[in-house]
Structure 1
Amino acid sequence: MVSWIRVLLLFSCLLPGMVEPGMVRRYKFNVVMRNTTRLCSSKPVVTVNGLFPGPNIYAREGDTMLIKVVNNVNYNMSIHWHGIRQLTTGWADGPAYITQCPIQPRQSYTYNFTIIEQRGTLLWHAHILWLRATIHGAIVILPKVGVPFPFPQPHEEVVMVLGEWWKSDVEAVIDEAMSMGMAPNVSDAHTINGHPGPLSNCQGQGGFELAALPGKTYLLRIINAALNEELFFKIAGHKLRVVEVDATYVKPFDADTILVAPGQTTNALLTTNLDIGRYLIVASPFVDSPIRIDNTTATATLHYAGTAASTTTVLTDPPPHNATAIATNFTNSLHSLNSAAYPCKVPLKVDHSLLFTISLGVNQCTSCAKGIRVVADINNVTFKMPHISLLNAHFFKIAGVFTDDFPGNPPMPYDYTGKRQPANLKTTEGTRLYRVAYNSTVQIVLQGTGMIFPENHPIHLHGSNFFVVGKGMGNYDPNKDQKNFNLVDPVERNTIAVPGGGWVAIRFRADNPGVWFLHCHLEIHTSWGLKMAFLVENGKGPNESLLPPPKDLPKC
């Protein structure tokens, strides 16, 4: 009998062209502690199968995934398949206490879902505490057999996972911050495929090396798995042709620098058309607000075959961390492919028009060192995590776990991005959901605020992709701004960065029954309460209804 480990190794070694369509893919994720050396320090970290980053998953559109997660550590565990729509299989989505109770130590759970009408690059990561710092990896979904990419076939594909690294235990970092009521310590380094790179202060860290043949085209599958920072990505001397974001094809365009927010993915074509040599690859933070950041730059190397050992690496400077113009130019260039094969199905009619203010602020705290605690909220509701899964409570009609009265608008209109914020604005705590009927359409204007100062917020929606139909700076004006919405070819995503001091408008169709999380993908903001959930009711018949829970669903 073939063991789970051998099955895992088999699939880990598969090349993309070797994966067959419409099959059941079995993986086993052993969650274990492992001593890992980074930045001249060795510490035990939580990993999947002892790897950091974790193993990449390969599949094809239409495949069914059976991924058994065995928890061998003393932390509770859950895994989220970020960007997988989970049509009627919300039990496999993964956020702890939202769609499942976590996997207890020495217990296991098999995530069972089918990839429907999706292809491209996504990621998987832990969705409990701060464990996704080291528990994350790539999901590569290939098109169906015989269906080509809508761009030139690359010579090779390369996964590039961007991340952060703390010398200390990340759970201790967030526990201390929450007890103090203040912001946590920033990370000690950024990483590319698990390495800070040869330009770090740690000797012996050679960094990731991308070996390439001259005159070839490579598809880079770039993932931002960092906890708290948007990241720029660039390669010295080379342009990158962007062809996909968040597993949706876009109109191709060339860029010197790519911006990827936490949870986002970008596929770009790299053509090795320069002189034979070595070229620096950099990943560096983008933030245009006055907050503490890890300002280190992760580095790797693009190495052309035939390069002499004595050849000096061609260097490049990362953008300034507050390079708003570069970030804006990149995001403004993104448009859905909107072809006959891949049409842009943006909802033209809106059933629910919502305005969500996204805020950071401070509350009084008698147990905190400075007497105050930083909190985060949407429409002045700081989300309170339940003690059992919301999906369980919804499916089994368990009373008292949540209410369905989440406000669709701020409780009090004000100058959201202004410098003078209302002093009498109160934040409440609660587990409040917003209920929508099956197949209804939703528009959300995600409005940034300036309670402390304006700050970027990458917002992720579970269970659905959405279309980014508009964005701007300052306060959203429905009478003026909606006239400029792009309803022809807006980019389709699952995570969008709301600019500091600005707003973004998204639309989606609620055609996936269940309970679906919406939250900031900056982990500290989620910890502070910047999250809510939609309850999408069943439609008609089994194809429009949430499936019953699996027998091995974890219990709280």
Structure 2
Amino acid sequence: MASAGLIKCAILILALVARANAIHIYLDWNVNLDTTIQPVSMDQPVITINGMFPGPLINATTNDFVHVNVFNNMDEPLLFTWNGIEQRLNSWQDGVSGTNCPILPGTNWTYVFQTKDQIGSFFYFPSINFHKAAGGFGPIRVINRNVIAVPFPKPEAEFDLLIGDWSYDSYKATRSLMSTIETAYYVLPDIMLMNGKGPLDNPMSIDFESFNVTQGKTYRLRISNVGTALSFNFRIQNHQMVLVETEGSYTNHITLDSLDVHVGQSYSVLVTANQNEADYYMVASPKMLNTSDFSSLVGIGVLHYSNSVSTVGGPLPDGPDPFDLDFSLVQARSIRWNLTAGAARPNPQGTFNVSNVTLSQTFILESSVAQLQNLPRYVVNNVSYYTLTTPLKLADHFVNGSGVYQLDSFPVKSVNTNASYGVSVVTGIHKGWLEIVFKNNLDAMDSWHLDGFGFYVVGFGIGDWTTESRSTYNLYDPVVRSTVQVYPGAWTAVYAFLDNPGMWNLRSQLLKHWYLGQELYVRVHDDDPNPAKERPPPENLLLCGIFSESPPGPAPGPWTG
């Protein structure tokens, strides 16, 4: 058996080889509010990137450096965030309001991030000003280096399938509805899009999505829910899917007739074209809605066999009852980590045995709604996040946060008696294991996301969570992903290993919830100024808020409140 020293040496050599093979990818993005591209038969502005909706694919390999020079040609400030890309040691590039100053209209700014130690399916989207409701999203693929085996045969081809709900109104009109109690809580999207195209045979659709396949070949579909509000169930008529990956983790292979995909989530499935040469429906139907009342919210595309001479017809393939939580919970619990597979590095995914870890912290976060100053708000433990003009990361770096936020001023294990606004920033212990229990007191599905880290999804349950609920956790092979669903009146438990210093956004992925305050920030700090712990601010750092004029020098040490 090899000694521990030899193993460490081999891993170091492989890491150095990977670093040497890393390439730099340079992208120029012209971002416009375009009135000529129409996903549906409505006059509405769409956010395009280089004239494209959805935006262009970012195709990278593990450890590559991606440079994205964003030219903001819109009439509002703009930011992009990279959903699921962990930004190792570098929350300066995270692209949310707490870490970055916005790119002002008529200006440009270059993001630089590394796809370090990651593989899988992800996507990007604009993160402020309700822009995601107007588009601006696109796919990200991070592929293995050749020295790492992929745990399934190479498919004939890959398709990116970005599915999401869409509204007929402009994003500014929908955004304005968020300002009144009478409208904010009741806004529903109007239609479901697949890759920016409407459902087949819908009178509002200008086009529909279709994938061409060859009989006998197997294809990889990278499916992402890029919508603002609705989970959906995806299925392909007469075809089964083999689940192989979710947001950077290879999963145990399970064969599915349909797959639930919640807002902000991404999956890879393998589909074999093993049916007669014909056309078949691809369907995405919303969860928690009666589709007979909302038929336009059923996304419909086509899987087209290359020699097909027939068109699709007849009834759509049936899916599970959209209100059947038992089906969803059983499927969610069946999605598990493939502990025998390599991922971005030559060690197996099961690097951590989470059954043996010692928890450093527990957050219990309850989501609900409130009215504050007669305005609609979403709250976490009865605190609705108040967005500042000064990014928290800037304040942390220049003045140790002083005068901008107070660390740990709001509860993470209890609920305040009265609802209030707050700039909620909580301590995350560097290199500690954090347990988060998300409790959903809403009557709708929710999704939670933590920038900078993956969630080890250890448990789901209906009703209240108690310490005894830990006995139901899966600590052997919980899947690791960046976004996790929380069912109505239910709880979801995750672990996160806080090895990535920075200021990290913890939020609902539902756009309305996020926009109206369902978020907080986790400050993971290490006193060591060594840039190997956390990178210094970039040379092109944007300044705003209280630092618009002349920022002070960097803070000499951590802010203690």
Query: How would you bin the TM-score normalised by the shorter chain?
Result: 0.7 to 0.9
Deviation of 1:286 after TM superposition, in Å, equals 0.8
Q: Distance in 2 between matches of 1:294 and 1:518?
A: 33
- Structure 1 counterpart of 2:178, which letter? A
In the TM superposition, what whole-angstrom CA distance separates every residue of 1:294-331 from its partner, at most 9, and x where no partner exists? Answer: 86211110011111156757842344432323322321
CA change 1:312–1:447 in 2 (3 A) is closer
- Structure 1 counterpart of 2:403, which letter? G
Instruction: Give 2:131's aligned residue.
Output: 131
CA change 1:184–1:169 in 2 (3 A) is farther
Q: Distance in 2 between matches of 1:447 and 1:496?
A: 12
User: After the TM superposition, which residues 108-147 of structure 1 pair with which residues of structure 2 at under 5 Å, given as runs?
Assistant: 108-133=108-133, 134-147=135-148
Instruction: Give 1:170's aligned residue.
Output: 171
Deviation of 1:545 after TM superposition, in Å, equals 2.9
- Structure 1 counterpart of 2:393, which letter? L
Instruction: Give 1:333's aligned residue.
Output: 334
Judge which range, 458-467 or 437-446, deviates more: 437-446
> Where does the alignment leave 5 or more consecutive residues of structure 1 unmatched?
1-19, 366-372, 413-424
Preserved CA contact (<8 Å) 1:357 1:378:
yes
* 2:454 is equivalent to residue 465 of structure 1: yes
- Structure 1 counterpart of 2:254, which letter? F
Preserved CA contact (<8 Å) 2:38 2:46:
no
Instruction: Give 2:436's aligned residue.
Output: 444
Instruction: Give 2:390's aligned residue.
Output: 388
* 2:414 is equivalent to residue 426 of structure 1: no
Judge which range, 494-503 or 356-365, deviates more: 356-365
Preserved CA contact (<8 Å) 1:280 1:315:
yes
Deviation of 1:268 after TM superposition, in Å, equals 0.2
Q: Distance in 2 between matches of 1:333 and 1:129?
A: 37
Instruction: Give 1:404's aligned residue.
Output: 407
Instruction: Give 1:8's aligned residue.
Output: none
Tell me the TM-score normalised to structure 2 length: 0.87
Preserved CA contact (<8 Å) 1:100 1:554:
yes
CA change 1:544–1:409 in 2 (3 A) is farther
Q: Distance in 1 between matches of 2:96 and 2:485?
A: 20
Q: Distance in 2 between matches of 1:167 and 1:538?
A: 47
Deviation of 1:196 after TM superposition, in Å, equals 1.2
CA change 1:363–1:311 in 2 (3 A) is closer
Tell me the TM-score normalised to structure 1 length: 0.88
Preserved CA contact (<8 Å) 1:279 1:314:
no
Preserved CA contact (<8 Å) 2:372 2:420:
no
CA change 1:394–1:318 in 2 (3 A) is same
Query: Secondary structure in 2 aligned to 1:55?
Result: coil
Query: Secondary structure in 1 aligned to 2:359?
Result: coil
CA change 1:184–1:29 in 2 (3 A) is farther
CA change 1:541–1:364 in 2 (3 A) is closer
Deviation of 1:39 after TM superposition, in Å, equals 2.5
CA change 1:295–1:518 in 2 (3 A) is farther
The share of aligned pairs that are identical, in percent, is 26
Instruction: Give 1:354's aligned residue.
Output: 363
User: After the TM superposition, which residues 70-85 of structure 1 pair with which residues of structure 2 at under 5 Å, given as runs?
Assistant: 70-85=71-86
Deviation of 1:90 after TM superposition, in Å, equals 0.8
CA change 1:260–1:459 in 2 (3 A) is same
Query: Secondary structure in 2 aligned to 1:396?
Result: helix
* 2:464 is equivalent to residue 475 of structure 1: yes
Q: Distance in 1 between matches of 2:492 and 2:331?
A: 15
- Structure 1 counterpart of 2:431, which letter? N
Deviation of 1:184 after TM superposition, in Å, equals 5.5
Judge which range, 223-232 or 538-547, deviates more: 538-547
Deviation of 1:176 after TM superposition, in Å, equals 2.6
Query: Secondary structure in 2 aligned to 1:542?
Result: coil
CA change 1:333–1:21 in 2 (3 A) is farther
Q: Distance in 1 between matches of 2:321 and 2:261?
A: 15
Deviating above 4 A after TM superposition, structure 1's stretches of 4 or more consecutive aligned residues are: 292-295, 309-314
Q: Distance in 2 between matches of 1:38 and 1:411?
A: 42
Q: Distance in 2 between matches of 1:313 and 1:288?
A: 22
Q: Distance in 2 between matches of 1:513 and 1:294?
A: 46
CA change 1:187–1:289 in 2 (3 A) is closer
Query: Secondary structure in 1 aligned to 2:413?
Result: coil
Q: Distance in 2 between matches of 1:169 and 1:282?
A: 26
Instruction: Give 2:288's aligned residue.
Output: 287
* 2:240 is equivalent to residue 248 of structure 1: no
> Where does the alignment leave 5 or more consecutive residues of structure 2 unmatched?
1-19, 343-347, 545-561
Partner residue of 1:506 out of 491, 494, 513: 494
Query: Secondary structure in 2 aligned to 1:330?
Result: helix
User: After the TM superposition, which residues 151-162 of structure 1 pair with which residues of structure 2 at under 5 Å, given as runs?
Assistant: 151-162=152-163
Judge which range, 378-387 or 542-551, deviates more: 542-551
Query: Secondary structure in 2 aligned to 1:31?
Result: strand
Q: Distance in 2 between matches of 1:129 and 1:31?
A: 15
Deviation of 1:426 after TM superposition, in Å, equals 1.0
In the TM superposition, what whole-angstrom CA distance separates every residue of 1:163-218 from its partner, at most 9, and x where no partner exists? Answer: 22222211221223314563253222110111112221236x34111100000100
CA change 1:346–1:467 in 2 (3 A) is farther
Preserved CA contact (<8 Å) 2:199 2:208:
yes
Q: Distance in 2 between matches of 1:106 and 1:54?
A: 20
Query: Secondary structure in 1 aligned to 2:285?
Result: strand
CA change 1:340–1:323 in 2 (3 A) is closer
Query: Secondary structure in 1 aligned to 2:37?
Result: strand
* 2:167 is equivalent to residue 201 of structure 1: no
Instruction: Give 2:537's aligned residue.
Output: 549
CA change 1:199–1:21 in 2 (3 A) is farther
